[in-house]
Amino acid sequence: MDEQDKLPTDLPTEPREDTRQEDFAQHLRDIRELFARQKRVEDLVHRQEMPRHELVEQIVHKENLAKLAQKLEQLHAADIAYILEALPLDERLMVWDLVKAERDGEILIEVSDAVRESLIETMAPHELKAAAEQLDADELADLAPDLPTEVMEDVFRNLDTEEREQLRAAMSYDEDAVGALMDFDMVTVRADVTLEVVLRYLRLFDDLPDQTDQLFVIDREDHLQGVLPVNAILINDPETSVAAVMRKDALTLRPEDNAETAAHAFERYDLVSAPVVSSEDKLIGRVTVDAVLDYIREEAEADQLAQAGLKEEEDIFAPVMDSVKNRWAWLAINLVTAFIASRVIGAFEGSIEKLVALAALMPIVAGIGGNSGNQTITMIVRAIALGQIGQESERRLLRKELKVALINGVVWGGLLGIIAWWLYGDWRLGVVMTTAMTLNLGLAAAVGVGIPMTLQKLGRDPAVGGSVMVTAVTDSGGFFIFLGLATLFLL
Predicted confidence band of residue 5 (pLDDT cuts 50, 70, 90): very low
Phi, psi of 179 (to 5 degrees): -55, -30
Report which of 272, 284, 257, 288 is spatially closest to residue 188, judged by C-alpha positions: 284
pLDDT at residue 16 above 60? Answer: no
Residue 401 or residue 63, greater confidence: 401
Q: What is the pLDDT of residue 371?
A: 87
Q: Residue 136: what pLDDT?
A: 86
Amino acid at 242: V
Over 90: is that where the pLDDT of 238 sits?
yes
C-alpha closest to that of 451 among 398, 388, 385, 490: 398
Query: Once rounded to an integer, what is the mean pLDDT over residues 477-491?
Result: 87
pLDDT at 467: 74
Choice among 37-51, 134-148, 431-445, 466-480 with the minimum mean pLDDT: 37-51
Per residue in 380-391, pLDDT tens?
887 777 667 766
φ and ψ of 304, to 5 deg: -60, -45
- pLDDT of amino acid 14: 45
- pLDDT of 87 reads 87
Determine contact, residues 178/287, Cβ cutoff 8 Å.
yes
Q: Which has the higher per-residue pLDDT, 323 or 421? A: 421
Question: How confident is residue 85, by pLDDT bands cut at 50, 70 and 90?
Answer: confident
